[in-house]
Structures are given as C-alpha cells and as structure tokens.
A and B are shown apart, each in its own frame.
Chain A
Amino acid sequence: MRAFAWGAFVLGALYFVLPLWGMTEFSLSMRRGEYSFDAYRSVLAMPDFQATFAFSAFMALVTIVVGVLIVVPTAFWVRLKVPELRPVIEFITLLPLVIPAIVIVFGYIRLYNTGSWLPLTGTAMGTNLLLAMGYTVLALPYMYRAVDTGLRTIDVGTLTEAAQSLGAGWATILGRVILPNVLSAVLSGAFLTFAIVIGEFTMAALLDRPAFGPFMQRLGQDRAYEPSALAVIAFAITWGCMGLIGLVSRTQKHTRAAR
C-alpha cells in the first residue's frame, strides 16, 4: 500500500514540478547556448510591462481598500445588529464563485454603456472604476470569509460592549477596536486579492483596460522567451502572496488576547 502511495505522490509531484521547471528553464534560454537573464531583462525594460504592471498593482490596491471598506463594516454589522441577515449575505458573497467573471463583465458592458443611466464605459476613469468594482466583486467571497472568520474568533459582541461602556462612538469602535484585531484576517484577504487582481485577464481585456493580464496575453502571441519569464514572475508573486498570508496568520496567533 505504501508503495502505491509513494507512486501516486511522486507522479503527482512530477506533474507539478515539470511545468514549473519548464517555464523556468525556457525563461533562461533566450541566449543561444547558455543560461542568461536576457528574457527577464527584456521584459522588465519594456515600457508596456512597467505601465501595465503599475496599472494592475494600483487597481489591486484600490480593490483592497474598497473591499475592506465594504466588507469589514458589513461583517461587523451583521454579526452584531442583524444576525438574521447572515444567511442572505453569505449566499450573496458566494455568488461570484458561481457566476463566471465573463458573464459579470458582460453585464457591466451592457448595463453601463454610453447609452444607459450610468454611462461608466464612456470615459477611461469611469471604465477604470467599473473594473475596480468588478475586481472587488471577484475578491468578495475570499475577503468576506476571511474577515467573518476573524470576527468570529474575537467575540465581537463583548468587545463592542466594552468599548461602548467606555464611551467610544462607532467610528472609534470600528477603527481602533475591531480593525486592529481582525487585521490578520484583513491582510490575508488583501494578499489574496492582490494575487487575483494582478494577473486577471477576462474583465480587463473585455473592458479594454491597460492591465497586466492582457499585456501578458499579447506578449504570448508575439514573443517566445519573454512569456516564460513573465510566467516565472507571476508564479513568484502568487507564491509571495500566499507566503505573506501564512506569515500573517502565524503572527496573529501570538497577539490574540487570552480569555
């Protein structure tokens, strides 16, 4: 039985290692006959790379901020004031996992086009806003679940009552009592959002925005070695984000107050 287990595991591991090795090796092979970072140099020097990466990174930050501003107060309010709405809200936050992103952005294009009541697609700024909203929707399930779990562990009700009895208003409670305690959950959600947004393709392409995802896809059609370098960079970013999430959840355990 153990031999079978090792066999299954090794074969599985091989399946994952090979493409990662393949893309790494390919990315280092731009110069004939020797390993070099030429492909990376080429990509990083491209003005399009810098512009689209900056754009997507900025979008990710905007998404994170909007996401936090919407999710944290809502999760807090639901736990404390309107617990009966919880099933409804949880269901809604899971909808983005059911409705494909392409359908959502299709809806944006039709609903908010230049002829409609909210002509967001008419301007670059408006379309950027739309894209940010779309990203927030994509990240919503993960962000909400992370924050909701974080709130559950810190017994929001008691903390709030304690703060209120000491005279704090809502803004103070949210900003100085709740938020610091769910910081690790928020950060986890934030890193995951970053990973999702930075490489996102469908929404950015259909809304015709200069994002990193469409840039990567275009490059894939034009060049041979640079796309692999991009893939390595993208994988490193994903790995980094996941690593940061792990780091953040580990440190949180130490700061949780003992009951």
Chain B
Amino acid sequence: MSEAAAPAAAAPRAASGGGGASRGLPGGRWLGVLPFFLFVTLFLILPTLYIVVGAFRTTGGGWTLQNVLDLNTRSIRNAYWVSVQVSFWSALLGCLIGFAMSAAVVLWGLPRWLKQPLLTFSGVASNFAGVPLAFAFIATVGPAGLITLWLRSDLGVILQAGLWNVPEGLQWLLPGQVRFPRFTILSTWGLILTYLFFQIPLMVLIITPAIEGLRREWREAAEVLGASAWQYWRMVALPILTPSLLGCMALLFANAFGAVATAIALTGPALNIAPILLYAQIRGDVLGNPNLGYALALGMIVITAAANALYVWLRARSERWLK
C-alpha cells in the first residue's frame, strides 16, 4: 500500500541528510508527518468535506440551500426528533445511573475491591455495542425473551399488552387486572434501554476519575465548618462535578446519536431515526433526491459536533478550577 511505503521511503532519505533535521530537502521536518496527513486527508477529511459541500449543491452542479430546506418534511423532522429523544434519554439515564454506580463504590462506602472489577467490566461493556447487543436484549426482553416469558408464566405480567393479571394471592390488594404502559423492546424506549448497556459503562469510566478527584479535605473542611453531608454536596461537591457530569452527558448524547448497528439489528430499518434514514437513503435513495442524503448527513454532523464541542468546553472549565 502506498501509505505504508511512504514512511519507510521517507525515513532513509531524511537520515541520509545526516544528524537530526534533513538538509537539502524542502520542508524536511514535515516529511515525517506526510503519510499521516495523506491518509487522513484521503480517508477522513475529503470524504467528510465532500458530504458537507454536497449538501449545498444541486444535481446540476450549482449552489443551493434547497437541500437543507428540504429537510423540513414531517418524516425527516420526525426522524431527527426521535433520534434526539433516544440520544437524550439514554444520555441522561446513562449519566445518572453511571454516576450512582461509580459514586456507590468510590464515595458511599461500598467495599474498595469492587472498583477494579467495575472499571474492567465497564471497559468491556462500553465496547459491546452493535448487532450482538441487540441480540442479547431480544433474547432477554424481546417478544419471546426469557424475562418476558417468565413474567407472563410466573407472575402474570404481559409486557406487550400492558396488563397484569394479578395472581390469586394478591387479589385482595389489587383486584382483577392492572394496566400499565405497554412495553416492547422493538420501540424507542426499547432502544433507549438497550443503548444504556454501553452508555452507563462509558459514564462510569469517565466520571470515576472525576469523583476520585474530590479531595477528602474538602469534605472535612465543610464538615468542620458546620455543614451536613447534604449541604456539602449541594454547595461544594455537586458544583465541582457538574461540568464533568454535563460534559459527559453531551459525550453520551453524541455517542448515541451516531449509532446505527444496534438500532438496525433491533428494530430493522423500520424504526425512523436519523441514522437509519440515512442508511436507507445511502442504500437506495428512498427519499427520491440524492442530494438530500448529503443534507441529512450534514444535519447529523452538526448535531454531534455541537455536542462534542459542549463536552470539550465543559471539561476545560472543570479542569480550570481543579488546577
């Protein structure tokens, strides 16, 4: 491959110049990073730019804003909106639960030895995304999933219909049938539930160092000044952690927004979220306008870039305080 050959070719040439920097070669210092920039330009930057630019072009070759404006149809708006919801809820819940689990071990008195297994498992689980994850959840809480069937046969709970046939022993407490919101894994909330499997561990991995960064002396200083545990948390610890928490949530949001494989494997191309819409469009121009695909992709980039920028900004703020 040409890229692989380049560093090996550049290196002897640079070395033959003698000493450190290469003499006699224009921009000799920069030769070493040439392969990297070549690779990145060809396979990351150019393709992305092509998409971004393509969003503002017509099939004839002229410039236009029409593609972006055409995003404003009901099904596309809906797709983005569902994506935003799934990403938001999986990020928020991932944030809260991940924080709780990390704090439980680091702060709230659970045995110390739990920390390493927690972190190790989080490392594994945060990478266990995509198709196999969907299979695991279908096998567990899908229509024929083990828990679904167990709930029906042993407890009389029918998830998909939202009914609970109260067993005889409890009839005196809750007579007849109890209704609750029906649940199926093949839905938006099913997707959120599944996404949590890699969102929570990601949160744990990122927030644990931040929680460990809360110095013991701060709590003690607050206590000796008369503060209760709640007051310490409200006035000192939470404000210190908030930039990290929010930043992490933004990261989780971006993470979920761009995910495709799990959703496809779970609900098939039928679920209307932005990445799946884009997937269908790439596969077969379901929208009837090839350039609309570019606009869709542009929309996705804008949202994930904004979320990441928010994460970076919040992280920088929290680091400034904790110098």
A residues sitting closer than 8 Å to B (CB atoms) are: 1-2, 4-6, 8-9, 12, 15-16, 18-23, 25-27, 65-66, 69-71, 73-74, 76-78, 81-82, 85, 89, 92, 95-111, 129, 133-134, 136-137, 140, 164, 169-171, 174, 192, 195-196, 199-202, 206, 213, 216-217, 220-221, 224, 227-228, 230-231, 234-235, 238-239, 241-242, 246
Contact = CB atoms under 8 A, between A and B. Distances in A.
A44 B48 CA distance: 38
B301 A231 contact: no
Interface of B: 1, 3-4, 7-8, 11-12, 14-15, 19-21, 29-30, 32-33, 35-36, 39-40, 42-48, 50-51, 54, 97, 100-101, 103-105, 108-110, 114, 120-121, 123-125, 127-128, 130-141, 144-147, 196-197, 200, 229, 254, 257-261, 264-265, 268, 275, 278-279, 282-283, 293, 297, 300-301, 304-305, 308
Q: Is the interface of A mostly helix, strand, loop or mixed?
A: helix
A202 B50 contact: no
Contact of A100 (B19, B54, B257): B257
A150 to B, nearest CB: 17
A201 B264 contact: yes
Contacts of B259: 100
Contact of B268 (A23, A25, A221): A221
Given A8-B100, A15-B196, A19-B137, A95 B44 contact: yes
A23 B140 contact: yes
Contacts of B140: 18-19, 21-23, 26
Nearest to B35: A70
Contacts of B97: 8, 12, 15
Contacts of A74: 32-33, 35-36
Contact of B278 (A1, A16, A65, A102): A102
A170 B11 CA distance: 6
A69 B7 contact: yes
A12 B110 contact: no
B275 A100 contact: yes
Q: Is the interface of B mostly helix, strand, loop or mixed?
A: helix
Contact of A110 (B11, B51, B196): B51
Given A22-B141, A22-B145, A169-B15, A108 B131 contact: no
A95 B36 CA distance: 14
Given A8-B100, A196-B127, A201-B261, A104 B48 contact: yes
A248 to B, nearest CB: 13
A90 to B, nearest CB: 12
B95 to A, nearest CB: 13
Contacts of A101: 258, 260
Contacts of B128: 234-235, 238
A98 B251 CA distance: 9
Given A82-B29, A231-B135, A238 B127 contact: yes
